[in-house]
Structures are given as structure tokens and as C-alpha cells.
Structure 1
Amino acid sequence: MTAFKTIGLIGRLASTSTQYSISRLVSFLSKQQVEILLDDETSSVLPDGGYEIASRNELALRCDLIIVVGGDGSLLSAARAFAGHNVHILGINRGRLGFLTDISPEEIEYKVGEVLDGKYLKEERFLLDCRLLRDDTELSSGLALNDVVIHPGKFIRMIEFELYIDDEFVYRQRSDGLIISSPTGSTAYALSGGGPIMHPNLDAMALVPLYPHTLSSRPIVVRGSSIVRLIVSEDNNLNPLVTCDGQSQTMSQPGDEVIITKSEKSLSLIHPEGHNFYETCRSKLGWASHTGNP
């Protein structure tokens, strides 16, 4: 008896190594007592497999487990599609760093087999809601598992904005932009920008300036329930971009407001037994290993 009955597969098909891992995973799962569904794109890897093809909306409604084969970017895309649904997400790493996709390709059969046997850890990760307003009218909205970033786009020019937290004025800043990061995203772009590493279970957000004009502008950590509001200064002579997880973006204009809050939607992320956040940091970030008793 497996812990999951209907499993959806999603993969990043640009990589031949990903295609190999998907084929290997399907071969393993076909021997288990599970139903296998492939999303539209992933099915092209197995054109003659005879497996059912389903849209991501169908996968969200029918599957109790989604396995993502690829890098963290692939899982970020899946997170936004499946957040708020009663489905678990498991990642197999075919990317580079792999903070979210933590099963190595060599361990597919063993680790996925353990998960199917019910030997796994579950985490609920919250997402960020982002809304862009112009004259109190909502122009666009987006979801982000990692971060929302306000930046100048391809131009290397500073932007100016005002920051408010829970309607309290914080500062007026000139910089290359601002990263608003969830705990999940604290080991991604925010880390490169000098932000703090936050444990995934924290109910908090980090605000990390990108190359601020004043050296006294430092990252700020606020509670997860905070309402973060940025007003794009009228003095800007360019249109800053608002990006969610580096995958979807909207162009703003001077006078616009960007509001970021904790989303009501969450993501159920699972790991094989023995997963440890600090061990992941040690292996991915090159921290020194333990050499003796504390």
C-alpha cells in the first residue's frame, strides 16, 4: 500500500539529463501501484508510453503527489500552479544548487520508494502575494514562493521609491531595487544581495536593498503578516519592473504602488526522511562540516 495513489510528473525538457531522469522515474513508478499522469509538455519525452496526459489544472485536482524533475526554477513554477491545492510536491534535482529539489538523480528509485512507503517529512511553505496598483486600480497580481523584486530591468540605473510597512513610513531609497523575500527565498537571490538566511519555518519576510546609494541601508526582517508597500517615486525617468520568482514580470510607472503580503495559499513540500535544513546549507553553501562533539 503506497502513501500516494495518483502521481503527476513535471520536468524541464530543455535538459537531456532531465529527460533521462523522467524516463527512469516512469520506469520505476510503473512497477508501483500508482496512477501516473504527465503534464502536456512532459509527455513529449515519452510519446509512446501510453500514459494519460493532463493539464496542470487537472493535475492539481486529481493528484495527491506531484514530482518535479529539474532545478529550483522548475519547482518555483510548479509551486505557483499548485499552491492552495491538496497536493504534495517532491523535487528531484537536475539543476545546479537545488535547495528545493533535494533528491539526487542517483537516488531516484530508493528515495522515491521511501516516500511512497510513507517515509517522508512534510513542510508547509507560504507564498507572497504581489499587487500593482495605479490610482487605486489593480493592474496586475502575482504569486511568488521565493521573492518579489523591484528593479530597473536591463538598464543599469538607480530607481527611487518609498517604503511603508503596515502603513508606517520606513524610508525613501535610491538603489538598484529591493528584494522582498520569503524564508524559502532567503537562500536564493536575497542571499546574493547580502540578505539573511532564514529557517523555512519562520513566519517572516526579509527586505533586502540592491546596491543602495547609502551604506546605512541594511536588510530588514519583518513579521510574515506585515503589509509591505512601495510607492514608485514620481522622480523616476524609467519604468521599474516588478518580478515574481524571476519568472513573471510587470512594468510599473512613476506613482504606482506595489503591495506585498503573505498569501493565503501555501505549498505542501515534502522531503525524504532525514532531510535537514542545516545539512542542506552545509552541502550547498560549502559550510565547514562538524569534526567532533559540541
Structure 2
Amino acid sequence: MGEVLSHLTTNYPHLRLLVEAHTARDHPNFEQLYVVGPHDAHLLPLHTHMVLTLGGDGTVLHVSHLFSEGECPPVLCFSMGSLGFLLPFHIDSMPVAFEQALNGPVSVLNRARLACTPYHANGELLERCGDVSEDGWQVMNEVTLHRGRHPHLTIVDAFYDDQHLTEAVADGLLLSTPTGSTAYSLSAGGPISHPEADALLLTPIAPRSLSFRTVILPGQGEVRLQISDRARSPAELSIDGREVCELHKNESVVIRKSEWPMPCIERPGGGTGWVRDISSLLHFNVGFVNKSIKKGHV
């Protein structure tokens, strides 16, 4: 991080660098840094023109959380050595990649996000879940309802555009974006989706029924997940892995496609790199071939 800050302040002195408080504390020698506090979320869309992330995929989810109250600027993501589906650049390429992103042209992939809002059984906002509005929280990967520490399977009624789709009896139920299809949804047995697909993926987590599989829904509809009045315990509501609150009988969460996607800057050369990544990172459809046979030995 120190080398990145040094490069930016030396070569681009006209730029205003906004950092979180812990970054400023860790690098006190850079006096020209502007600190972004936890209560500045509503100001970020107005004063930020590009975001740099350094680390794993979790840093991209963190950016989505920071820009939860408005449009997200283009995001330039760098890997610090770990593999990640959302990290097209290695940190070693930062000087060249940043210069290209700053002066363009660049390819941008608009990764769809979800807007998620919890409600009481009477239809009012569920304020005990924290700071929430009708616009909802912004979700990059998935919204999850899970039985958590409770011993009983959760029972969730799923609705699509106010039509009852199914009653899920399972450890949990999650609704993911195409970007999130390679995260929790994939671990729960869901399919892999191209990030540009206009879809919502409804995936059960350890369902009681063996016939319950992922349902792929049109991206323009609205999904409501409601705790059944037959549920024996509440369910934990989580957003991109962050536990928010518990939902009780007849309480629900309404999820729709957000009007604010996350524009992610891609590697030059066209395309999203997705085809390459599912092969190199997930080893998609790689067969179990004996190495000695593959090399021509018997």
C-alpha cells in the first residue's frame, strides 16, 4: 500500500486521494490523504471518480458496501497475490493499468447489484435491521437467509413478482447475482453464470427435498423471501456475508435488481476475461487425467 500511495502522490500530485481511516493511520507520512469516515457514504458518489482496491475479492465487496447510497464509480481491482474472480490486474501492473484507466480508453464491465429491503409482517420497514430505506442495501454477490445457530430447518416462502414460487425447507435460501454465481451459490450447488447475464439465481442451501435445484429468474422481476408462519425459529439475514439481523415469522426481505451496478475496469484486449478465468481459476470441466498417460508414458 505504501508503494502505491508513493507512486500516486509522486506522479499524480493533482489528484485528491480518499482513503479509509485505518489506511491513513498506517501511513502517517502521506499528509495529503483525505480520510473517509463511516458516516460519509452519502458523499462518496459525489466526490469519487475512480476506486482502487488492493487485496482479494472481499475488497470489491467492501467497495460495494461503501457505495450503498448512490452510483458507484469505475473500480480498478488489483490482486496482491491471491486468486480472485473479481481481480483482473496484478499489483505489479499498477503503474501501467492506472495510467491507462485514467486516460483511457478502457473496457468496463457493469456488474449488476441487487437492492435488498427487509419488512415487518405489516409491510413497514424493519428498522431493527439497522439503517435501511426503501432504496435498500446494495448487494454485489448474494442475499442469504440461513437457520444459523438454530437447530431446526428454516421454512421460507419464495415469491416472484408476488406469485408464490415455492416453499423452501432447508438450512437456508440465497438469491445471487450472476457475479455471485461463483461464490456462495456455487458452493451450494448452483450453476455458473456469465456476469453480463440479466438473471437472478435462487439457490437452496442443503434442502430437505432432493428435487430442489437452483431456479434462474429474469433479472427485471422482484423476489420476496418470507419466513413462513410454520417456521420453528427465525432466520439470519446476511448480505455479501455480513450478518444484518434475524427475520421472524411473516417478516420478509424484498430483492430486486439495483439501478446502480458496479462498473469494473477490465484488462485491455476486449472481452471480460470470464472464459479465461473459469478455466484458470475454477478449472472448469478439467478431467482427471493421469499425468503419466498425458505425457505419453504407460
For 1:94, which of 80, 85, 90 is the aligned residue?
Answer: 80
> In 1, are the aligned partners of 2:55 and 2:82 still within 8 Å (CA)?
no
**Which residue number corresponds to residue 217 of structure 1?**
212
**Which residue number corresponds to residue 271 of structure 1?**
266
**Which residue number corresponds to residue 125 of structure 2?**
138
> In 1, are the aligned partners of 2:81 and 2:90 still within 8 Å (CA)?
no
Q: Deviations over 1:9-32 (max 9, x none)?
A: xxxxxxxxxxxxx11211222232
For 2:255, which of 243, 254, 260 is the aligned residue?
Answer: 260
**Which residue number corresponds to residue 104 of structure 1?**
90
**Which residue number corresponds to residue 11 of structure 1?**
none
Shift of 1:144: 0.7
**Which residue number corresponds to residue 7 of structure 2?**
28
Seen in structure 2, the aligned counterparts of structure 1 residues 255 and 156 have a Cα distance that, compared at 3 Å, is same
> Equivalents in 2 of 1:196, 1:31: separation in Å?
46
Residues 1:238 and 2:233 are matched in the alignment:
yes
Seen in structure 2, the aligned counterparts of structure 1 residues 136 and 70 have a Cα distance that, compared at 3 Å, is same
**Which residue number corresponds to residue 16 of structure 1?**
none
Shift of 1:59: 4.2
Mapping for residues 1-294 of structure 1, pairs under 5 Å: 22-33=1-12, 34-35=14-15, 36-55=17-36, 56-57=40-41, 58-82=43-67, 84-85=70-71, 87-94=73-80, 96-134=82-120, 135-139=122-126, 140=129, 141=132, 142-274=137-269, 275-287=272-284
Larger mean Cα displacement after TM superposition, 197-206 or 125-134: 125-134
Seen in structure 2, the aligned counterparts of structure 1 residues 52 and 193 have a Cα distance that, compared at 3 Å, is same
Residue 264 of structure 1: SS of its match in structure 2? coil
> Equivalents in 2 of 1:143, 1:162: separation in Å?
22
Corresponding pairs, count:
268
Identity of aligned residues (%): 28
Q: Deviations over 1:43-100 (max 9, x none)?
A: 1221111222232545432221110112211211211322533621111123744111
TM-score scaled to structure 1, two decimals?
Answer: 0.84
> Equivalents in 1 of 2:150, 2:82: separation in Å?
27
Larger mean Cα displacement after TM superposition, 249-258 or 52-61: 52-61
Shift of 1:193: 0.8
CA RMSD between the two structures? 2.1
> In 1, are the aligned partners of 2:144 and 2:239 still within 8 Å (CA)?
yes
Shift of 1:156: 5.0
Residue 79 of structure 1: SS of its match in structure 2? helix
Q: Which amino acid aligns with 2:125?
A: E
> Equivalents in 2 of 1:97, 1:180: separation in Å?
24
Residue 259 of structure 2: SS of its match in structure 1? strand
Flag structure 2 segments of 5+ consecutive residues without an equivalent.
Answer: 287-298
Residue 108 of structure 1: SS of its match in structure 2? helix
> Equivalents in 1 of 2:285, 2:96: separation in Å?
28
Shift of 1:114: 3.0
> In 2, are the aligned partners of 1:119 and 1:272 still within 8 Å (CA)?
no
Larger mean Cα displacement after TM superposition, 110-119 or 172-181: 110-119
Q: Which amino acid aligns with 1:157?
A: H
Seen in structure 2, the aligned counterparts of structure 1 residues 152 and 286 have a Cα distance that, compared at 3 Å, is same
Residue 177 of structure 1: SS of its match in structure 2? strand
